[in-house]
Amino acid sequence: MADPLDPVACLIDGDTLVADGPRHVIIDPYTELPMGATPEAGAELVDRAVHSAARAQTDWGTVPVDERADLLDRVAARLDDEAEAIAALVTREMGMPAGLARVTQAQLPANVLRATAAIARDGFPWREDGPEAVLLRRGAGVVGAITPWNMPVHQIIAKVSAAVVAGCTVVLKASEQTPYDALRVAEIFTAAGAPPGVLNVVTGTGPQTGAALTGHHALSRVSFTGSVRAGRDVARQAAGALTRASLELGGKSPAVLLPDADLDTAVPAVVGSGLVNSGQACNATTRLVVPTDRIDEVADRIAAAATTFVLGDPADPATTHGPLVTAAARDAVLARIGTALAQGGRLITGTGHKSTVADTGFFVDPTVIAGLAEDAEAVREEIFGPVLVLQGYSGIDDAARIANDSRYGLSAEVWSADPEAAQHFGARLEVGQVKINGVRTRDRVSVPFGGMRDSGYGRELGPLGIEEFTDVTAVMA
């Protein structure tokens, strides 16, 4: 069994130091034993980090774009070299199965870095010559980035790569559950040639360290991924300092199976995407919207798909689904399932009780619930666990109505034997991304990602992701 790690350090102006504030103990979600600790950095260290970034930005903003892009390529190469170690670290911190961690927390971030570098060199309008003015885009300044625990390295890279290539410098506060990978990413940037102060890391919780960062007067941008509740706090704090913010706040994403969809292909796929990372994904397809007259067929295939899942030690290559991140997260998900059953839901898969798959670990069995009213809590609210709901529709217009009947608007899937019909239907959906017939976000690393309504505002990835971190000057002559 792995020994606990030393408390994670901050990285400020190229120097590592351990904050002396209170410590948040990190519990391994599988062993239920302490694996490390996150010390609270607090306002003083945050201020030091922001001013370090501000000093570094004076020079970094003048470095040619090609050289900034070269840094991203070097970081990508180092991520390739350290893929196994980084994946293992994420697995230990938050319970992601090792195979998924390699793909999404090492390979995907490396692909994002390379794609962002390529766009910066050849696909971004740093200068636009118009008939009345020349538009010049440059890095906005210092960025405060706050990232979540569920896709930790990917979320760090999505924000940092775009900000750094734009000519910004960054102060990063990762989740207190997953700080070790954040520090390792910063160390990789330094080893790849990032000057001191270009990427700084501060540790701590959202209400303390995070609030000190997002409300800091010297920031030019805030980029946040997390819950709606925390996002509202971040928006208020940033607005108080007149700092522009981008927010990615989660979703309740529908997967719509049109009447001609091939159920044998579509159902296992949408169940898989809905339960990926044990449902701890903001764009998980947690609402399965299917023709009412095919619900029984769909339910049979859901039950069959669930038998292929392997719950267990996330470090075991055979494991497909690991534990939830904390005991509190497990208990909250089980409470939501209990409420759904009390509101008339019926289980297609799952037991509604604490999983008995292992002696330790914060496990919840994959759960799919049918028979709920449209206003039921499990239909309306993001659960952030391995829980899907099955909804029936009576026609194409009804399918669109149900899919759009949400306060979220992040992502959706559409399945049809007719790709053109699927795209036509997808255009009706009020979400930031629509994936047709199994296209995956991770395979389209230059497509902008972000949402509407309570899913937040702003975009990551691709040219729009870089745009978030630039200011525009119009030069008229």
312-319 contacts at long range (C-beta below 8 A, 24 or more positions apart): 312/357, 312/358, 313/30, 313/358, 313/361, 314/29, 314/30, 314/91, 314/95, 314/96, 314/97, 314/98, 314/101, 315/30, 315/88, 315/91, 315/92, 315/98, 316/98, 317/98, 317/99, 319/97, 319/98, 319/99
- Dihedral angle sign, alpha carbons of residues 439, 441, 442, 446: positive
Tell me if residue 35 falls in helix, strand or coil: strand
Nearest to 294 by CA among 376, 390, 374, 372: 390
Tell me if residue 237 falls in helix, strand or coil: helix
Q: Answer whether 385's CB lies under 8 Å from 279's CB.
A: yes
Query: What is residue 133's DSSP assignment?
Result: -
Q: How far is CA 437 from CA 240, 329, 413, 446, in A?
A: 43, 31, 7, 19
> What DSSP element (H or E) covers 134?
strand 134-139
The tally of CA atoms less than 13 A away on the side-chain side of residue 325 is 21
Q: Name the token pair of 30.
A: 């599988």
CA–chain centroid gap for 411, Å, is 12
Instruction: Please list, residue by residue across 297-318, b when 16 or more beta carbons sit within 10 angstroms of its beta carbon and e when fewer do.
Output: ebbebbeebbeebebbbbbeee
CA–chain centroid gap for 106, Å, is 14
Largest CA distance in the chain: 73
How far is 49 from 56, CA to CA, in rounded Å?
11
Tell me if residue 109 falls in helix, strand or coil: helix
Q: Name the token pair of 235.
A: 């928006």
Catalytic residue list: 248
- Look at the block and give the residue holding tokens 């501060």: 202
